[in-house]
Structure 1
Amino acid sequence: MSVEKILGDWKKKQFKPVYWLEGEEDYYIDKLMQTAEHDLLTEAEAGFNLTVFYGREANWADVVNACMRYPMFAERQVVLLKEAQQMKDIDKLEGYINNPLSSTVFVVGHKEKKLDGRSKLAKILKEKGEVLSTKKMYDNQLPDWTEKLVASKGLSISQKALHLLVDHIGNDLSRIDNEIDKLSLNLGSRKNITEDDIEEYVGVSKEYNVFELQDALARKDLPKAIRIIQYFEGNPKAAPIQMVLPALYNFFSKVFQVFGVQARDEKMIASTLGVNPFFVKDYLGAANRYQYEGVERVMLLLHEYNLRSIGIRDSGTPDGSLMKELVVKMMA
């Protein structure tokens, strides 16, 4: 079952007795938990019919007893078990889940991992409950996801601003959501988010960031690349090397794929590579400047310097020096 389906059912007052929310992506689990806590009951109903447990402190018998109570002055009660992955004897919930009370909406948030599908509890949940399994979003999915989130809030965002935001924050959906809300408050009557807004309200320099370094490398603009790296040296939190190298590897891996695409139509290339058509010219330009052998060598260099950045075959060269050495070799 999807997040959207669960939220849609809840909005229509259609409830199942048990919802099990599990997996690596906290954002969706937190979103559903927050909705269950604040929107399924009115304020007056919640006073008598909302019970919240936390896994580390919860006793399985107390949770089951709460679920077995009947609602007071309402059609249903809501019982939440947060951070269930920290609960001892969680398998002892099997008895209740196998025969739940229809007037109780029991919502469990089990973060970080999924249940073993072979376990008895997992089999009972599959038969008796609604299970949402989440996993971390791939980096190449973040721009589209973020753009849709922006649109859902009645806003739009320029492509450069979108990639500045995503490259800066990375795979933290909750923080992306929070930053968009903050931007929305600061926009006033405007509805379009620009790179200037990202710089002012999120704190990302529009001139000195991973996106601009990637552009400098794609164009073989060594002076610009060195200036950006020098900025990173003076502002270590702006772009640590462990964030920069994967971003560059992702870019050049897409450039490498260009050589295997037969079509020259930019939309077809974008579809094949799984990228926004807005950026296809960047990939094509880099492919023309570096050629096949050059891109292959860049990929090997990125792998080598990634190992050196974590101390393998390196005696402690500063990150800034590693990056400067790397970009010079890349463009040689």
Structure 2
Amino acid sequence: MEYRKMGNTGLDLSILSFGSWVTFHKQIDDGISDRLMSIAYENGVNFFDNAEVYALGESEKMMGRVLKTKNWDRTSYVVSSKVFFGWRGKENKPNQHGLGRKHIMEACDEALKRLQVDYLDLYFCHRPDKHVPIEEVVRTMNTLIQQGKIFYWGTSEWSGVEIMEAHAVAQRLGLEGPKMEQPEYNLFNRHKMEQEYLQIFKTVGMGTTIWSPLASGLLTGKYNDGIPDGSRLSLEGFEWLKDKTITDQKLQDVRNLKKVADELGTSLATLSLAWTIANPNVTTAIIGATKESQLTENLKALDILPKLTAEVLGEIDTIMGTKPLHPAY
């Protein structure tokens, strides 16, 4: 395993990490989650990602049960949660979602209980909240840091402008600004990482914990001939993800990309993951798996990474046609 500093912090994250979105509770049980987390940990993965809204809190409970039974040294791994959506779903009442001080403080305590840990290494604002002043968010996150409940706070799917506003507020108040962002980044979704955030990387520095590096499985090629039963895009309640993910053009691009994978003697999934972590501004790419074979294959991305020469990356750009056009200035 290789490790990268999370932006300009002193925290080392494995460049491949393990997440629970969709899979935990919805697709796998405690036994399988225990096995997958163990394989990840034994292969050097040190970051496990979660959120209050995943399976309405059940995902964190499942991960917490695994962490409790594994008895790993707490200093050897990093665990996260995210706050915004709440865990009560349609039963959410006022103050049970969003980024108001009350919800952030209470949601952190709830996440600690579900995960059965004393502190969160990383705590993300899962989305921006247009109804709460950013100063309130910054101050509340710093209160949690001062209480020892979280070590770093960050954002997920915030705009570059919103992130820099949070930094400006934090600097004015002498407080800690957001240290990491969790954006979607894959061969179909490149704008934020390769264009919008570039100045943030150069100025204040920022770690990134990438979600959906395989575009919800589309970049594995498993949807080329339809949607398999039991796959993520076949799940009830995830129709929105299917509609967003699958188009005829994207499927054709994936079929064309397979030629590059074949030339390198690897799978589409492994190639796509290796491409994601080839970006030096990626701290870690979060992988999710329901089978041991999937996880083992994903971990091979580390072996493919050195093979992604400028020539190979150029060939991928030509096939996919998704590279952002950078400003002329």
Same-fold status (TM-score > 0.5): no
When the two structures are superposed, what TM-score results if normalisation uses the length of structure 2?
0.29
When the two structures are superposed, what TM-score results if normalisation uses the length of structure 1?
0.29
Higher helix share: 1
Structure with the greater alpha carbon radius of gyration: 1
Task: Answer 1 or 2: higher relative contact order, Cα 8 Å, separation at least 6.
Answer: 2
